[in-house]
Amino acid sequence: MKRIFGLLTFLFAFSIANAQQGGAYLDLSYTFHKGEVFELEQKSRTETYVTVDGVVQRTTRDYNNLISIEVTNIEPGKTTLTFKYKDLKFNFNAKNNNIFVDAKVSKPDEPFQGALKAILDQPFTVEIQTTGIINKVEGLDALVDKAGETFNTLKKDEQEAYKKLIKDQFGTDAFRGWLEQLFVMYPAHGIKTGTQWEENVPMRGDLVGRVDLYWTLQTWDSQTAKINGTAKMKTDKIQTIFLDDNVKATAEISGTTTSNYLINISSGLPSICVQNSEMAGDYTYIAKKIKNNKKVPAKIITNASYKIKQMK
């Protein structure tokens, strides 16, 4: 009798687990309470390789940042989150020129340090739907423009180069570009293990194009969900862009980002996210005469990790 009872208990437990993972539906959304505070840790490295006249040129960008996120307003279907950079470390290396900045450490001989320091602890907002779609980012470009005023004592060409660099790396387009791939956009209906769904957003930052986002629910329990993500990126090859050193170009580049998320079901935020991205193709440097245009092979590799924990 005991053996039969034990077997029945095992089968009952197995059936519950199987129903949860296979047949039961999970409703995921972003659910917040006013006054909650989260801390986002961002670490990422981007390497860009271009081959000009047979010579490979490498540019690297490293970020190591802490960002405070406070829930400041909740309305039906949307929430306003107030972001503040609490720590900013940035390393930029190109053509043997290196800029390493810790916003909290004084570095009088590096203009970029003063600019990043001006961004620390300054608020800007993100309005997000309960599904994770970002409606708008407000106040960040104004902060970056204000920070750029620290370059006004430099020579004009240096001013322009530094202002472009800080906007390209920390402006609204750059920020929203990585945030839209960090915050999973959930479907409006319940999903079960193996369900795949998709969204698309424009490419943001230096490149112009389209990002098709795909997610799959892997496993879940009462507290967490594991989700795999894939982003397929493709530039619009006829759109003109401006690269480092203000080089005018077009880009025919495509690639993929793979993401692994551990989602906190109570808030909908990822507790952990690891991403790997690789894109390849060609830039076409635009000359005054079309016959002098130059095709330049390019590869862009990004590895990033994010952690979010609730502080309050």
Domain residue spans in the chain?
Answer: 26-310
Tens of pLDDT, residues 214-229: 999 999 999 999 999 9
φ/ψ (deg, to 5) at 125:
-120, 150
Structure tokens that stand for 164 in this block: 């472009």
The Cα–Cα gap between 207 and 252 comes to: 10
**pTM for this predicted structure:** 0.88
Chain centre to alpha carbon of residue 17 = 34
Ramachandran area for residue 154 (φ above 0: left; ψ -120 to 50: alpha; else beta): beta
Report how far apart, in Å, the C-alpha atoms of 218 and of each of 116, 188, 192, 208 are: 39, 18, 9, 32
Query: What does the pLDDT read at residue 147?
Result: 92
Query: What does the pLDDT read at residue 153?
Result: 86
Query: What does the pLDDT read at residue 157?
Result: 85
Query: What does the pLDDT read at residue 311?
Result: 95
The Cα–Cα gap between 204 and 171 comes to: 10
Tens of pLDDT, residues 48-107: 999 988 899 999 999 999 999 999 999 999 999 999 999 999 999 987 788 899 999 988
Residues in the chain with pLDDT values less than 50: 1-20
The Cα–Cα gap between 198 and 186 comes to: 9
User: Is the domain covering 26-310 a CATH 2.60.120.260 domain?
Assistant: no
